[in-house]
Structure 1
Amino acid sequence: MPAISTVDGLAQLSFLIQGALERRAAEHDLSLIQTRLLGVLRDRRPTMQELAKLLGLDKSSVTGLIDRAERRGLVTRVPSPTDRRSSLVVLTDRARELGAGVAAGFESDVTAMLGVLPSRDRADLTELVGRLLVAHAAAHGVDLLDTLGSPE
């Protein structure tokens, strides 16, 4: 088998993964960015500014995203207990159900995709991906392991 460069391989893998996630999101009438929002909020209650940082978007884009999600009944804004000037973004029960449905299907797709690898390779891949993502986030001032408060 011809060797695939790291860059080409990661690019092609990202297309496969994004495609699977988009298909699962569409099954639940969600866009990819709405799905990302549900994933970020499933274990966090961030402010709008924190959410912008977590999603890698500017604050005005996040405001529009949250306005649309709120109209769909996916999120609510609650007053911050520590800063009266800001509010926290919280998932609704409906959004949690939608997110769980997308996640279950997506996990099934990725598990099937990775099923061709021996278990040791899957474990190594999991560790490498985790280290890479945590390091990248930290370099951009985001702590992936900080949940910014637990959901109610």
Structure 2
Amino acid sequence: MTSPNDDLVDALVQLSFLVQGTLAELAAEHGMSVAQARLLGVLRDREPTMNELGRHLGLDKSSISGLVDRAERRGLVVRTASATDRRVVQVSITPAGLELVTTAGTVFAERLGALTADVSAADRRALVRATRRILDADPSWLG
């Protein structure tokens, strides 16, 4: 049985696979998993607690601990006790982590730009507007 949304669903799923595949390829080139790349992306402009980070990335406590442990061993992030509650641990990016995520982010943008090179400027603007509406309608993706 077909649905009027089949073409839309198929297009969105395929686009998601393409973007995630591009991210996975780039992360691997820098010796990271997709989860590690997402971690650095989140930490680029905030210093969340471990719990907030887990919610944002959709990971449980043990998974987020392991992810942060591996990034910390590479010198990409640091953990610090909260100034207001010593039981709370915050995670922040190091200069090395920021350099890595900035470099990788630039390459990621270039690769996505190449993927959309044949898309008209008007279609790009329409895609941005539609994507923002979808994301705004369901803020749960923010964690």
TM-score (norm 1): 0.84
Structure with bigger RCO (C-alpha 8 Å, 6+ apart): 1
Counting matched residue pairs gives 139
The equivalent of 1:130 in structure 2 is 132
In the alignment, which residue of structure 2 is the partner of 1:149? none
Gaps of 5+ in 1: 143-152
Whichever residue aligns with residue 132 of structure 2, its letter is: G
Aligned partner letter, 1:103: G
Residue 11 to residue 141, structure 1, CA distance change in 2 (3 Å) = closer
The structural deviation recorded for 1:140 is: 6.3
Distance 1:103 1:123 in 2: 21
Superposed structure 1 runs of 4+ greater than 3 Å apart: 139-142
Q: Give 1 or 2: higher helix fraction.
A: 2
Distance in 2 between the 1:93 and 1:49 partners? 23
Query: Is residue 108 from structure 1 mapped to residue 100 from structure 2 by the alignment?
Result: no
Which of 19, 34, 41 is residue 36 of structure 2 equivalent to? 34
* Contact 2:22-2:108 within 8 A present in 1 as well: yes
Q: In structure 1, what is the equivalent of residue 15 of structure 2?
A: 13
**SS of equivalent residue, structure 1 residue 60:** helix
Q: CA RMSD in A?
A: 1.8
1:135: how far off? 3.0
C-alpha separation between the residues in 2 aligned to 1:134 and 1:44?
A: 20
Give 1:91's aligned residue.
93
- CA distance in 2 between counterparts of 1:56 and 1:117 reads 32
Identity percentage of aligned residues: 49
AA partner of residue 69 (structure 1): A
Q: Structure 1 residues 135, 83: CA separation in 2 closer, same or farther (over 3 Å shift)? A: farther
Q: Which residue number in structure 1 is paired with residue 59 of structure 2?
A: 57
Whether the 8 Å CA contact 2:56–2:142 is kept in 1: the answer is: no
Supply the distance in 2 between the matched residues of 1:12 and 1:141 (Cα, whole angstroms).
21
Mapped to 1, the partners of 2:141 and 2:103 lie a distance apart of 30
User: In structure 2, what residue type is equivalent to 1:95?
Assistant: G
The equivalent residue for 1:44 is: 46
Give secondary structure in 1 for the equivalent of 2:92.
strand
AA in 2 matched with 1:129: T
Q: Secondary structure at the match of 1:83?
A: coil
In the superposition, the TM-score normalised over structure 2's length comes to 0.89
Matched residue, 1:146: none
Shift of residue 141, structure 1, vs aligned partner:
7.4
